[in-house]
Structure 1
Amino acid sequence: MNALSQLWGRREWLNDTRLKVLAGPVLIIMILAMMILPLPAFVLDLLFTFNITLAVMVLLVSMFTQKPLDFAAFPAVLLFSTLLRLSLNVASTRVVLMEGHEGGDAAGKVIEAFGAFLIGGNFAVGLVVFMILVVINFMVITKGAGRIAEVGARFTLDAMPGKQMAIDADLNAGLIGEEDARARRQEISQEADFYGSMDGASKFVRGDAIAGIIIMLINLIGGLAIGMAQHSLSFSEAGHTYTLLTIGDGLVAQIPALVISTAAGVTVSRVNTDQDVGQQLISQLFNNPQVLMLAAGVMGLLGLVPGMPNLVFLLFTVLLGSLAWWMWRRNQREAAPSTATPQTPPPQPEVPEASWDDVQLVDTLGLEVGHRLIPLVDHRQQGELLGRIKSVRKKFAQDVGFLPPVVHIRDNLELGASTYVITLKGVEVGRADAHPGQWLAIDPGQVSGKVEGTVTQDPAFGLPAVWIDSAQRERAQVYGYTVVDASTVVATHLNHLLHRHANDMLGRQEVQQLLDKIAAENKSLVEDVVPKLLSLTAMQRILQNLLAEEVSIRDMRTILDTLAEHAPQQSDPHELTAMVRVALGRSITQQWFPGDQEMHVIGLDANLEQVLTQALSNGGGLEPGLADTLMEQAVSAVERQEARGDPAVLVVQHGLRALLARFLRRRITHLVVMSNAEIPDDRTLRVTTTIGARS
């Protein structure tokens, strides 16, 4: 038992992360040592074998990754493997020049095998093979991989602003959480770093190919000089011996370099999918029996041409034809259940009498979709929209302060194939089209180019947009579009409508559940207000008034404290709402002007404010001419305010706030009307636009 405990303790020590930290420095020290210290032939064999093994492992890892970031360490591996090959070249050159006169195995069995067995001992053949490998590695694979990495790095950097805006849009819509947004931002940054690193690392591989040619020439010239001058060998003996050793040394370094370069090309040229390279090749090259049958026909025709190797061509004809027939039969078997002859339907049962079970109440929230949108809401088809809707409801509850009703989803064959309708209490409040498999490119106002597609508008905010194919997604992001999929479009539209109609969704049941939640922690506070001072209906009306002007009701303690203070003297829900707004003033101000920067707001001209105050004190409404003028100037002021990049917030006297809010928000739904009593004393206010000022 003690021995087993010691062995287990050693295993835990070997798994310690501190050993992983030391792996890099130890590898660098070993590489530098190989350049300086002489190595025996056996150690060279071990290191050359390790180099070949490492190259094969890197190639296999690159083949089985599903996206480039799964092998994010590849640029560093590329650098270290290149330095390892160069160090081995230096160490083997030293041994070849010092011990090469003793025979072919003087520099180790690996170099001898590559120099004698692989090329048959013919140095001319070896020289040609070496040069071909260098050309393939340098001119084709490495140059192509470097170019792909360079273009990928440039397009990734250009697309970063669009991707960041898409993440911010998903975060604001409640489709993702803060942790998911942070992870996606980090992934975008890592992707740009990866392609940039691959672009630089490929230069090392190209330099290694050039260095291989130079080292080979130096070995040949140096070997001839040393063999003839120091070891008294004839020119032919020295040429034969040192040439074979030099070519063997070059081949044993260039073959792993070729494998590593191939792995680099595979990594940077792949497209991000849920499949590795092998699965992509099989699923996309051999998935169409018609293609295989046509290829078999072409090979068969070539096989019938006189003078051609008929047996080989006809063999491939038979193989491709057999594979095409097998795939065709498999597709027929899979499609057979859907085309089977329908059975005779059973006799119809007797229709029962109508009952109260047939009465269907109106759903508070509903989503009706056309038949092309059914896959988005079908969990059996991995529909993403269901999860998005859950996230939207959760984010709404966290921001607004109550749980919205469940969204009841049903298909509606009377709608267009790609149309969806959002209903509130059975009444349509939103309608738009969404196209599964396509992307909506939204123009935030600063795009640098145009994309081809179906021109439309963002259903949530009315921004100009274009439905595009997946092939144009990267280009649209580079141009600065915010690109989202169909599920995100529907979820964002739903989220916008939930906030807009929050007051209509707050019923007596939701108010009671909200009070019960507060009562679980502070029962006396709730009982002192409801039902002692206010009825549940009056409480519902006050909360609906707040929600109608986009004021969150999360701070229920402050709301109840304010009502407990003022409800004994005031029973009008509108007056109590105004008092609650003053108590929530800091929260309301922070919602539209976060931080402590100066507040740029819209104000009223002093003369107009006096006229409105007088009209309100007389108990009459606004005159038609004054009302029209006020509305026109308010619309113009909001446009000027938004053109400056400031929120459309109008600050007026406390007594005028309710009147102007009800009047102006009929046409300007996104205008926020605040009273000066709601603004904290420590905030600085500046009126940048005035309604009613004479131009």
Structure 2
Amino acid sequence: MDNVLEKKTGLKKTDIGVAAYLLAAVIFFIVPIPSWLLDICLALNIAVALTVLINSLFVVEPLDMSFYPTLLLLTTLFRISLNVASTRLILTTGNPGNVVSTFGSFVGGGNLVIGAIVYIIILIVQFVVVNKGTERVSEVTARFTLDAMPGKQMAIEADVSSGAIDEKEAKRQRDKLQEESSFFGSMDGATKYVKGDATAGLIITMINLIGGTIMGMVNNGQSIQEAINKYGILTIGDGISSSIPSLLISLATGLLVTKGTKTADFSGVMMKQMFGIPRVMYVVGIVLALLGIFTPLNTFLFIAFAVIFFIVGYQMSKTIGKEDIKSQVQEEENQAEEIRRPENVVSLLNVDPIELEFGYGIIPLADVNQGGDLLDRVVMIRRQIALELGTVVPIIRLRDNIQLNPNQYIIKIKGVQVADGEILFDHYMAMNPGYVEEEISGIPTTEPSFHLPAIWITEGQRERAESLGYTVVDPPSIIATHLTEVIRNHIAELLTRQDVQNLVNNLKETNPALVDELTPAEMSLGDIEKVLKNLLSEGISIRDLLSIFEILADHATNTKDTDVLTEYVRQGLKPAISAKFFDKGVPNQVITVDPKVEQEIMGSVKQTEQGAYITLDPEKIKSIMDSLGNEIKKMEDQGKTPIVVLSPIVRMYFKKITEDYYSDLIVVSYNEIESDIELQSVGMVSDS
């Protein structure tokens, strides 16, 4: 029946219950209710307040009651509506029901003065002690939580970069951090509800007393003393019946915002901290015994408490002794087990894809507590390359290495060192862009990423160097730039089949027909990986995976040669390649290749089942490379980036020849260049 109701209306029983609770509060403001219904609601109010208090006591962490601010608003509204309902009954009938009458006569002993004093004491405790302290703690907690949020977010990103946690765990921690910030921010405002509730209760009580006295004198013909006595007791009962639940809610709020630990049982930790040290128990027992013996205080009472504290202290010392013995035995067993167990070398077999190791002098740059932002820069490197090349960079492991020089760092790819550098802490690297004539004094060095001449300068020289036109960079930027260039140069070998599978899965979510057509029917995952690696090795982005797969699906039925398929893809990515290497509206200086050289290269190509290879004479290759080297030097002397343009069918073979000589050389075909790009040949590669 409940399931049918939920399906038809979309409402659950919990939704109906909350709505009824809120609707009742609104109705009580308007519609008079009988005294028996008021008794039920007041009892419910006390039960809800006790439930909230006990929950806040035993909850493990505050976020387990993340809806507490909303709950606080609902209970406050309901409680005030009951105040209004009881006021209406007191003024109209003089009979607000059993609960209000009992609180007035029982708590105050039927005496107006005693009841008023008890009520005032409850209000003072709630206002001065609980509400004031809770409000201040909530404000400070919210402020510190918000201030600490950026640091915690950076720590999460640092853990992701270092491999301590994965992306899934990082997302969980980020969500929890956001919830924690929202919760304590809401609690800061929610405490105002509690304070306002107590203030409203006091005002309503004064109105009840004055109004009841007037009603008793005017309508019932009572004397002022009789009216004050009758309506005063009822008013005090009404105030106390509302103040006690309000005080319980205030206590619950204080418990939530003052929990010192967020991951442990509150009562267990508190009791252990209070009564966990035997010496404290013995000292307290001795003091109580002395007070009972040498002062007029009740000797029997204080001696009894002293004995209890001695017993507790003795029991705690025995417990601690057993725990120490158990801990020692467990430690010895673990050591013995470690000795008996053969060395576990499985963890040593794992090779990190990318490692950045540095000497102890560079540690401050990676330590967030010392103001270092190298970890943040590593995160930005991964994002930058993902946007630029369309592939996910593996986790970059950062380690300190005492075997290195203090200011030295090395970069490893799959456990093999591929680059290194050295920095000067508290210095800046200044590089002359080529047009600065005035020199500055400093320590000569070489920029590690592009091997340009540079100078180490001090902080005091930085402003002058920048004013002269020097390019000035700080040590973290030097390391980050070097790491970025190394990753760009090795991104192809870092691409794995699992990475390709993840890319395919992402594309399949939006284009399942295309993916199903291409793989595994026409191309295996390994073949797709080879094509993507070919593109990445020459700096071509694979971010537009949809276009790449479209092109592969069109041509994979005609050839299985991944090198040929790569050329088809490159031609299909003509706009991206043109935009990357050429400028529109101006002549682009390039190097061309003699048609005779192209024919010689194509004539030497031999096709096999394993792929094509070149049988060109070594002397002929050397002659071609010498000519290419001369043309490259001419362009570099002019400050230009050498780009070789030649026929489409020759491009991949010419690139293979040049890889051993000029690995960074850009080689493109005419079919990879947009028609509106203007080219200007400034040199030609020949074989003589």
Q: Which residue pairs with 1:619 in the alignment? A: 627
The Cα shift of 1:82 comes to 1.2
CA–CA distance in structure 2, aligned partners of residues 47 and 135 of structure 1: 26
The Cα shift of 1:366 comes to 8.1
Match runs of 1:513-592 below 5 Å: 525=522, 544-549=533-538, 551=540, 555=548, 558=551, 580-585=569-574
Q: Which residue pairs with 2:266 in the alignment? A: 277
The Cα shift of 1:274 comes to 3.4
The Cα shift of 1:196 comes to 3.7
Cα distance change, pair 222–561 in 1 and its aligned pair in 2 (3 A): closer
Q: Contact between 2:355 and 2:413, CA under 8 Å: does it hold in 1?
A: no
Counterpart check, 1:259 vs 2:248: yes
CA–CA distance in structure 1, aligned partners of residues 132 and 108 of structure 2: 27
CA–CA distance in structure 2, aligned partners of residues 157 and 116 of structure 1: 49
Q: Which residue pairs with 1:451 in the alignment? A: none
The Cα shift of 1:237 comes to 3.2
Gaps of 5+ in 1: 1-6, 101-105, 348-357, 371-391, 432-492, 531-535, 590-598, 635-649, 686-695
Q: Which amino acid aligns with 1:300?
A: I
Cα distance change, pair 278–345 in 1 and its aligned pair in 2 (3 A): closer
Q: Which amino acid aligns with 2:122?
A: L
Counterpart check, 1:312 vs 2:305: yes
The Cα shift of 1:229 comes to 3.8
Counterpart check, 1:294 vs 2:280: yes
Candidates 61, 76, 85, aligned match of 1:82: 76
Candidates 237, 245, 249, aligned match of 1:248: 237
Candidates 203, 210, 214, aligned match of 2:199: 210
Match runs of 1:37-116 below 5 Å: 37-100=31-94, 106-116=95-105
CA–CA distance in structure 2, aligned partners of residues 344 and 176 of structure 1: 31
Q: Which residue pairs with 1:332 in the alignment? A: 325
Candidates 30, 41, 50, aligned match of 1:36: 30
Q: Deviations over 1:427-456 (max 9, x none)?
A: 35699xxxxxxxxxxxxxxxxxxxxxxxxx
CA–CA distance in structure 2, aligned partners of residues 509 and 89 of structure 1: 66
Q: Contact between 1:403 and 1:510, CA under 8 Å: does it hold in 2?
A: no
Cα distance change, pair 505–224 in 1 and its aligned pair in 2 (3 A): closer
Q: Deviations over 1:386-419 (max 9, x none)?
A: xxxxxx9xx99xx988999x99xxxx9999xxxx
Cα distance change, pair 227–426 in 1 and its aligned pair in 2 (3 A): closer
The Cα shift of 1:674 comes to 8.6
Q: Which amino acid aligns with 1:609?
A: Q
Q: Contact between 2:101 and 2:237, CA under 8 Å: does it hold in 1?
A: yes
Q: Which amino acid aligns with 2:304?
A: L
| Stretch of structure 1 that moved more, 179-188 or 30-39 | 179-188
Match runs of 1:174-573 below 5 Å: 190-270=179-259, 273-282=262-271, 289=276, 291-305=277-291, 306-307=294-295, 309-339=302-332, 427-428=416-417, 501-504=490-493, 525=522, 544-549=533-538, 551=540, 555=548, 558=551
CA–CA distance in structure 1, aligned partners of residues 171 and 15 of structure 2: 26
The Cα shift of 1:202 comes to 2.1
The Cα shift of 1:253 comes to 0.4
The Cα shift of 1:92 comes to 1.4
Q: Which amino acid aligns with 1:338?
A: E
CA–CA distance in structure 2, aligned partners of residues 245 and 238 of structure 1: 11
Q: Which residue pairs with 1:145 in the alignment? A: 134
CA–CA distance in structure 2, aligned partners of residues 253 and 507 of structure 1: 67
Q: Deviations over 1:275-298 (max 9, x none)?
A: 343354356656xx5x34334324
Q: Which residue pairs with 1:17 in the alignment? A: 11
Q: Which residue pairs with 2:121 in the alignment? A: 132
The Cα shift of 1:60 comes to 2.5
The Cα shift of 1:31 comes to 1.7
TM-score normalised by length of structure 2: 0.57
Counterpart check, 1:609 vs 2:589: yes
CA–CA distance in structure 1, aligned partners of residues 60 and 656 of structure 2: 55
Cα distance change, pair 149–98 in 1 and its aligned pair in 2 (3 A): same
The Cα shift of 1:147 comes to 3.2
Q: Contact between 1:68 and 1:272, CA under 8 Å: does it hold in 2?
A: no
Q: Contact between 2:289 and 2:303, CA under 8 Å: does it hold in 1?
A: yes
Q: Which amino acid aligns with 2:318?
A: W
Partner SS for 1:619 = helix
Match runs of 1:155-174 below 5 Å: 155-158=144-147
Partner SS for 1:609 = strand
Cα distance change, pair 679–249 in 1 and its aligned pair in 2 (3 A): farther
Q: Deviations over 1:285-322 (max 9, x none)?
A: 56xx5x34334324424532432634324422331342
Partner SS for 2:110 = coil
Partner SS for 1:66 = coil
Q: Which residue pairs with 1:488 in the alignment? A: none
Cα distance change, pair 208–624 in 1 and its aligned pair in 2 (3 A): same
Q: Deviations over 1:23-68 (max 9, x none)?
A: 4443333223222333322222111101000111122233343343
RMSD, aligned α-carbons: 6.4
Cα distance change, pair 612–325 in 1 and its aligned pair in 2 (3 A): farther
Q: Which residue pairs with 1:592 in the alignment? A: none
Cα distance change, pair 556–564 in 1 and its aligned pair in 2 (3 A): same
Q: Contact between 2:591 and 2:631, CA under 8 Å: does it hold in 1?
A: no
The Cα shift of 1:144 comes to 2.9
CA–CA distance in structure 1, aligned partners of residues 497 and 202 of structure 2: 84
Q: Contact between 2:591 and 2:643, CA under 8 Å: does it hold in 1?
A: no
Cα distance change, pair 84–621 in 1 and its aligned pair in 2 (3 A): same
Q: Which residue pairs with 1:643 in the alignment? A: none
Q: Contact between 1:362 and 1:426, CA under 8 Å: does it hold in 2?
A: no
Q: Which residue pairs with 1:103 in the alignment? A: none
Q: Which amino acid aligns with 2:27?
A: A
CA–CA distance in structure 2, aligned partners of residues 586 and 500 of structure 1: 23
Q: Which amino acid aligns with 1:233?
A: Q
Cα distance change, pair 133–278 in 1 and its aligned pair in 2 (3 A): same
Partner SS for 1:53 = helix
The Cα shift of 1:586 comes to 6.0
Gaps of 5+ in 2: 358-381, 421-481, 505-514, 595-622, 679-688
TM-score normalised by length of structure 1: 0.57
Q: Contact between 2:49 and 2:245, CA under 8 Å: does it hold in 1?
A: yes
Q: Deviations over 1:623-652 (max 9, x none)?
A: 89768757xx68xxxxxxxxxxxxxxx896
CA–CA distance in structure 1, aligned partners of residues 149 and 499 of structure 2: 42
Q: Contact between 1:300 and 1:314, CA under 8 Å: does it hold in 2?
A: no
Cα distance change, pair 110–499 in 1 and its aligned pair in 2 (3 A): farther
Partner SS for 2:130 = helix
Q: Which residue pairs with 1:692 in the alignment? A: none
Q: Contact between 2:42 and 2:82, CA under 8 Å: does it hold in 1?
A: yes
CA–CA distance in structure 2, aligned partners of residues 125 and 311 of structure 1: 33
CA–CA distance in structure 1, aligned partners of residues 257 and 334 of structure 2: 50
Q: Which amino acid aligns with 1:59?
A: L
CA–CA distance in structure 2, aligned partners of residues 667 and 137 of structure 1: 80
The Cα shift of 1:250 comes to 0.8
Q: Which amino acid aligns with 2:210?
A: I
CA–CA distance in structure 1, aligned partners of residues 337 and 142 of structure 2: 62
